[in-house]
Structure 1
Amino acid sequence: MAKQIDVRIDRDTPVPLYHQLAQQLEAAITSGELSPGEAFENEIAMADRLGLSRPTVRRAIQELVSQGLLLRRRGLGTTVASRQIHRRAELTSLYDDLKREGAGDPRTQVLSHEVVTDTTAATAMGVPLDTPLLRIVRLRSDGDHPLAVLRNWLPPAYSDITVEQLTTSGLYALLRDRGARPVVAHQRIGARPPSADERRHLCLRASQPVLTMTRTAFDAMGNPVEYGDHCYRAEDYSIEVMLDER
């Protein structure tokens, strides 16, 4: 049975009823009173319980769906969404984003750690095609919840980075420790169906898309620091961008 949240509606204030309801429901979700995956009270029952019209309740729920706080699925009803990671238009790593948003348990499983040559990565970084690059593939999770498969290629100067270090620290922190501070990057964002391996690691169905990001980062001298090809569970991730008029 869906949990009923105590909501207080002030009909004498100029604040719209749907917005009052949405704010209190949002507070219940962000505070943890409603847990990720938990069933959400249906709009008919909530409208009757609170003495509100169905359109008012429906609009409040839709506002939370638009914010990524609730999920509506045909045949399954409405549930509380998993915590979404928000990435701003800044040069940070997913590990940095998890720490910034207060995730208590970012985990990393190193799936691959090998020296290879790679035409795509070498071209992106502007190094000779036969340059030996350290290729690392990691599964990043928030606790037991998988978030992303991260593939990175590093120049030879950073080939001493170990599996143990990658398991306990973010890649950018390890690079900064070696004097390689990424300060500028070219980044491309897209979406596609997940591969079989990605479905397995991220616990996805074939019909669920992944958000993709490729990035080439450089230090202050213009030297390549890393090339990354990452994919994320789309429902757990959003990207925030500030746009200015030109």
Structure 2
Amino acid sequence: MARTGDRARTAAAPALARLDFALDRASPVPLYYQLARQLEAAIEHGVLTPGDLLGNEVDLSVRLGLSRPTVRQAIQSLVDKGLLVRRRGVGTQVVHSQVRRPLELSSLYDDLEAAGQGPTTQVVRNEVVAAPCDVAAALGVPEGGEVTVLERLRRTHGQPVALLCNYLPATLLDLDSARLESTGLYRMLRGAGLTLHSARQTVGARAATAQEAARLDEAAGAALLTMQRTAYDDTGRAVEYGRHLYRASRYTFDFQLLVRA
């Protein structure tokens, strides 16, 4: 009968076979960092998927011709990021990829799809309500006027990533829940002839409530990234106000900063 370690090495072989490492031993960039970045890229682009086994450090070091401490340091850096996990008697396993999103006016659905993250959406609320004062102010409608509120749970690789709450003027367009579960909101807006031009956005962080944690598969009080955004079309009209929550363990915003002369 095969031993546990033998089964782990056999299971890891297909995952490792999908990888083509290019390590430059003459580069000033440390080998552990080169290995970590290439493993991270493979996870981000779906070459390595959740559940894939990489085997243990000895297997990896032999395969790559690297010292065991070098491999250990590379793996630990990805364990610290929550991308890999060490399982006793099994080896190193892919957990999930962390979503990296540029901080610009774009659709989360489109960004995830372009990154090969396999996004899916569950619509948990889609109804017309009276606009609260903050929503009315953001959208430029009378307080108590009709707005459509959407609540959606966004997943990648079957795991929750974000809880999205959006408000739109009720007369803007017909928001069909079935379509919202197969495409992105901004894609639907563009399909209705609306041109998104700019947005005002605020990013923050807070602890998850018990209800939010349950929906996002986190512990109560876990750190969540928050984003509030008001999007405008090319006439300057506010067409969408969003309050979004993201799992900090699985999501980051990327910034590009320019130096002013």
**Normalization by structure 1: what TM-score?**
0.80
Residue 212 of structure 1: aligned partner: 226
Aligned to 2:121: 108
Structure 2: how far apart are the matches of 1:11 and 1:244? 31
Query: Counterparts of 2:254 and 2:135 in 1: how far apart (Å)?
Result: 26
Residues in 1 aligned to 2:35 and 2:60: alpha-carbon distance in whole angstroms:
10
User: In the aligned structure 2, how far is the partner of 1:229 from the partner of 1:11?
Assistant: 43
8 A contact 1:190–1:211 mirrored in 2:
yes
Question: 1:23: how far off?
Answer: 5.4
Query: How many Å apart are 1:196 and its aligned residue?
Result: 2.4
Matched-pair contact (CA < 8 Å) for 2:226–2:246: yes
Cα distance in 2 for partners of 1:8, 1:161 equals 44
- The alignment covers a number of residue pairs equal to 244
CA contact (8 A) 1:85 1:237 kept: yes
Give the 5 Å matches for 1:65-84.
65=79, 68=81, 70-71=83-84, 79-84=93-98
- Distance in 2, matches of 1:148 and 1:24, equals 26
| Match status 1:14 vs 2:26 | yes
Q: Cα distance 1:184–1:31, how it changes in 2: closer, same or farther (>3 A)?
A: closer
| Secondary structure at the counterpart of residue 171 of structure 2 | helix
Residue equivalent to 1:182: 196
Distance 2:49 2:127 in 1: 39
> Partner residue of 2:74?
60
Q: Does 1:222 align with 2:236?
A: yes
Instruction: Describe the SS at the equivalent of 2:199.
Output: strand
5+ residue gaps in structure 1? Answer: none
Preserved contact between residue 61 and residue 71 of structure 2 (Cα < 8 Å)? yes
Which residue of the partner structure matches residue 140 of structure 1? 154
Tell me the secondary structure at the aligned position of residue 61 of structure 1: helix
Find out whether 1:191 has 2:205 as its counterpart.
Answer: yes
Task: Indicate the percent of aligned positions where both proteins have the same amino acid.
Answer: 45
Of the structure 1 ranges 145-154 and 161-170, higher mean CA displacement relative to structure 2 is found in 161-170
Cα distance, 1:78 vs. partner? 6.0
Q: Distance in 1 between matches of 2:162 and 2:21?
A: 40
Q: 1:92-171 counterparts in 2 under 5 A? A: 92-104=106-118, 106-116=119-129, 117-158=131-172, 160-171=174-185
Over 3 Å counting, the alpha-carbon distance change for 1:121 and 1:36 in structure 2 is: same
Per-residue CA deviations over 1:152-206 (Å, capped at 9, x if unaligned) read: 0001332522222222221111111222222111111122222222222222122
Confirm or deny that 1:236 pairs with 2:250. yes
Q: What is the root-mean-square deviation in Å for CA atoms of aligned residues?
A: 3.5
Cα contact 1:194–1:206 (8 A) shared by 2: yes
**Cα distance between partner residues in 2 of 1:190 and 1:157:** 31
- Contact kept, 8 Å, 1:133 with 1:159, in 2: the verdict is no
**Unmatched 5+ stretches in structure 2:** 1-7
Q: 1:130 to 1:9 in 2, by over 3 A?
A: closer
**2-side partners of 1:25 and 1:107: how far apart?**
25
Query: What is the CA-CA distance between 1:102 and the residue it aligns to?
Result: 2.3
Q: What's 1:245 paired with?
A: 259
TM (norm. structure 2) is 0.76
Deviation at 1:37, TM superposition (A): 4.3
